[in-house]
Amino acid sequence: MTVKDVVEKFDLTVAAGQSGLDREVMDGYCGDLLSEIMGNAPAGCAWMTVQGHQNIVAVAVLREMAAIVITGGQTPDDETVQKADQEGIPILQWPDSSFSLAGRFFSAGIGNLATK
């Protein structure tokens, strides 16, 4: 499933990084401590976080993520949008919690539990 497919399926808003919408979403990850994400997030994941600081883009590039989803109705900072556009990392927005979106991901077969 591509980022674009995920956006359409779960009715997410694209806030930045349009050019990366064809990336493949292979997994998911949740967390707000960037020091922890930097060490543990899997490649190809869609990362759900409430952080909107521009450092999230650098972390997504470092971990070769498919996309960032800013959850809980939070918004990316202006600098974050600029960086994500430059790097082609899609930033999506979801008004509800990371938990609720993660559940939808699993139901759709993203990050299959059997392979974990």
Partner 1 sequence: MSPKKIVQKSLEQHLDLIAICDHNTAENAAATLREGTRQGVAVLPGMEICSKEEVHLVALFNNIEDTLKMQEYVYAHLPGKNQPEVFGHQVVADEHDQVLGENPRLLIGATQLSLLDIVEKAHHLGGICISAHVDRPSYSLIGQLGFIPEDLHLDAVEVSYRVPLEKALTEVVGISDYPCVTSSDAHFLHDIGKVWTEFVLAAPTLQEIRMALAGTEGRRILSDT
Stretch of residues binding partner 1 (CB under 8 A), selected from 9-17, 23-31, 32-40, 107-115? 32-40
Chain-centre distance for alpha carbon 29:
8
Q: How far is the CB of 59 from partner 1 (least distance, A)?
A: 6
**SS3 sequence of the chain:** CEHHHHHHHHCCEEEECHHHCCCECCEEEECCCHHHHHHHCCCCEEEEECCCCCHHHHHHHHCCCCEEEECCCCCCCHHHHHHHHHHCCCEEECCCCHHHHHHHHHHCCCCCHHHC
- Least separation in angstroms between residue 56's CB and partner 1 is 8
64 binds partner 1 (CB under 8 A): no
Q: Which is nearer to partner 1, 6 or 84 (CB)?
A: 84
Determine if 34 is a binding residue for partner 1 (CB under 8 A): yes
C-beta closer to partner 1: residue 33 or 43: 33
Binding site for partner 1 (CB under 8 A): 32-35, 37-38, 51-55, 58-59, 77, 79
